[in-house]
Structure formats: C-alpha cells, structure tokens
Structure 1
C-alpha cells in the first residue's frame, strides 16, 4: 500500500520542527504565514519568539503594528506580518478569539489562500484534506509522469490522504519533497515511492531517457524568483529595517534604500509602503506602521 510505505519511511526520517509539536490553531497559522516563500531555517527563531510573545490572537491583535513589523524584520515579505496582525483582529472580533476550521472562514482572513487554509485545517484540526505546496506539487507530477493543472493536482492529492491520518500524511509528503524528491538531484534510488513513480522509472532506466522533469511548471510548483539584488524587495527591506529603530526624515528614504540616483523609484516605493499600511508618513518623517 502506497500510503503505508510512505508513512513507515516518515516514521524514521521525519524532521523535528517546533510547529509540529503543537495543534494550537493560532500557532499553526503563525507558522504557516511565516513559512510562505521562506525557508524553514530562517523561520525557526522567529516562530519561537512570536509564540512566546504573542501566544493568542488576542495578544497579537492588541500589539502595535509597528512592534509587529519590527519583530518581523529579517523574515522578509513584511506584508505577511501586517496580514497576520489583521487576521488576529478578525479572529478576535468575529470568531471569539478562536481560529476557525471552516475553509471559507479561513480564506476570508487576509493573506490566507487555499494552501494556508488547508494547512490549518490539517495541522490544527486533523481534517482529511491535502495540502498542495511546491513539494507536494513536484511529487505528484513526478508520480504521474506529467504536468498537472491545479484542480487535478488537488484532486489527486485529496484522494491519496488516508482517512484519519491527514496530519502525518501531509507532513510525510512535505518531508519527502524536502529531503528526497528535491527539485535538483532527487535521490530516486532511496525514495520509498520509487516503485510507483513514473519519473523515477525514466531516471533510473538503463538508458538516459532525456525526458524533461514533469514538475516544471506543474501545479503548486513555484517558479524561480527574480534576483533579489537591486530589486524593489531589497530597497523596501532596507527602508523597513532602518525604520525598525526609529523614524526617518522622508528626504533620506532614497539614500537608505540605496536609490540615491533614482528619486522617482524611491518615491514610488515609499508611496506603496504607505498604501499597504507598512509605514506612515507624518509631516516630513516616516515611521513603521
């Protein structure tokens, strides 16, 4: 049985991660928001700090956004912190301080898409559904030997979930993708899924197949990100980092962002950050939140 083979492998190869030691829906949501487009190693210290400082949605909703953004500094994509802060307020006001289990209620929270909503359902509430992230999308494409549209990939993933074991199964799939069925240099010979994987049959064949990886551009599989150096993301991050210590004269924003010769671009980025609620402009000074 495929499910049992993978679960048996995972029993000895599982990663010990702090968010796997809790079923608290709030802490699960915090971890999933942090893990969006961010590597596990970077998230580890932030998750521990946030869990201790803001252990409930009520605690987090009462915090000043500027303090939240300052604590988030270095984790990247600060709009996620703002979305989590807004979600905490909604959870407190509309759901009595309890993270909802209903899919539509979860999707109504800022910054929560289908992946994050399903992750909360599975890892906090044990609901029998599948979480389709980049690792799982890659695995499914390789197992079937073809690119998959999102709806089909989600259906296949849902059908594979063993009844009553969604928590372990989804964790096992993620670990398989992170540790064995990696994007580059997958260890097909050591993979517990090798016997039923269509792509492994191609890779391990006696003759080079020349077949492209079916995971490329398949559903759930992330594409290569644009370079960070010189990007708007880098410039925005520099300004937010500077503001985490104190306010800043507006006229210094371009220099802080490394855009001293690109005043128009600097003004655009400042305006975007203000519109997103990540900074405020009062008089001639800029501040977090």
Structure 2
C-alpha cells in the first residue's frame, strides 16, 4: 500500500493586498501570509525591499496564476530623497560613497523632472536582484565587486514633488515594471551635483489594487486568532498539522480580494455553466452574444461571476490557455 503524503494546506485562493511594514522582507511576508491562511500555495507580485513599506500583493492558491498581470501593472511610490550623500545601496542601508555641501532648490529640481518622465533609460542599482552571468548583482556587490549593469528601458508616467526642504525632497512617482526608485534618487542627485539617496520609500499602489484594499499583519492576525487572544500557535509548526485543527477561517478569508480582480485589464466574457465545464476540460467554446469580441489575444471567461479561464478568442471561439478550479 502506497504511503500517503501529508496535506500541504488549504486550497484557498485570492489576493492579500498586504501593507508590508519596514523591516520585513518580501519572502518573509509571503511565508507569514501562507502560514496565517494555512494555504497550499503563495507568491508575491513584485519584490519590496525590507527598508520599504507599503503595498505587497500576495497571491494564494489559484491567484498565483494571475501574478504576471499584477507584475505588469503600473505602480505608485512615495519616497524621500536625502540630499548631500550617495550611498553604495542608494538607500540608508549602505555606507556613504560620495558627499557634497551643495543642496538643490525646488526650482532646480522642477527643471530636472521632465528628464525623468516618459520612456527613459535607467541603470539598476549595484545592490539589486538583476542577474549578471547567472548571479544576483547584490551577491556580487556584497563580495566587493563593481558590477557592470547595462541600462534598460523603463517608463515613468509622472514624477511630482510633494514637499521640498533644504536637505530632502518628497516625491511621488507613477511608473511601470522594472523601475528602481533608488536609481531615480541616485541619478537625480548626480544631475543636481549634490548626490542623493532614498531615506524613506513607500509603495502606495500596484495596479489594479488601491489603498482601500490594504490589510495589515495585525488585522490578519486578529481575524485569524481573535478568539484566542495571545494564545497563538508557533509559526514554525508544521502547516499540515495545523490544518487538521478545527479552525474557522471565515474571518480571515473574508479579507481576501477575489482572484479575478487581477484580470480587470482583460476583456471579460460571460459564459454558461455548460461552456465552463467544457473549458475546464481544455476544450474551446463558441462565444455568443451581440457584444462578444471576435478576436482577442487574451480574454477572461467567467461563469456566474466566477473566474473560469484565461484564453484567446479566435474567429469567435474562446480557446483556454490557463484554467481555474471551479
């Protein structure tokens, strides 16, 4: 008789739009959320540095299939640049590498802003997750190597001054995938001749989510353990053992954002229950309805408001590419 494997967790699906605190790494945050929900599967949609706070969308279960659509969404950051010093990490973590007595005026900065909007070329920081010859740049930098990272194209929708003081300026930026805010601080400081680094960074939004979707670790813990007070189980305990406990997950599951929210960018196709059954078996179906598109590279099929599949529409036929559990 074959050996039965341990259960790996609950088949819960949805998005946790976490307000990540300063000091917590993205991987640590995912592990914490996975444990709180006792989820089978979890992943995040875009790393947020430990020194940064704010929106870290974490996908559970079937929602992990929609991660690329959130990663490609626009992001909004609010950040503070401290003038007068450049640091090895382009934030507070690294040692000072360059200094200047000069400080920029608000007028000086405003003149510079158009250079940093639109489609621009940007060189990622030395301490970044970019791979160089198969190794992460930050690993090489920690070993004392100066890494030659080629610039790459990014898009910045807007870059605004929120508040200016002699020694620091608060900005808000709306940008696309792959933008390094630390590089913005570094490059603006060099252009202004005064050097600069990030002293505070907060991600405010990740499209399609908004600050209204935010949930904190404290709120999640209260929903999960509210009735138990401080008598919480050990997060290092085996998830398979914990899931056997008679726990009501209703309150914490109520804090999830539906998986389909990540696919608002795609055409939405309503289908019948019969069509949903066929699609979940991998079969194409004819799309009916006067307003149904005839062609679409990607579309989202739903039945009774529930996500069924992502697929392509060719000559009025929906062809599933990624199917979601019913």
Instruction: Provide the TM-score with structure 2 as the length reference.
Output: 0.25
Instruction: Provide the TM-score with structure 1 as the length reference.
Output: 0.28
Structure holding more strand per residue: 2
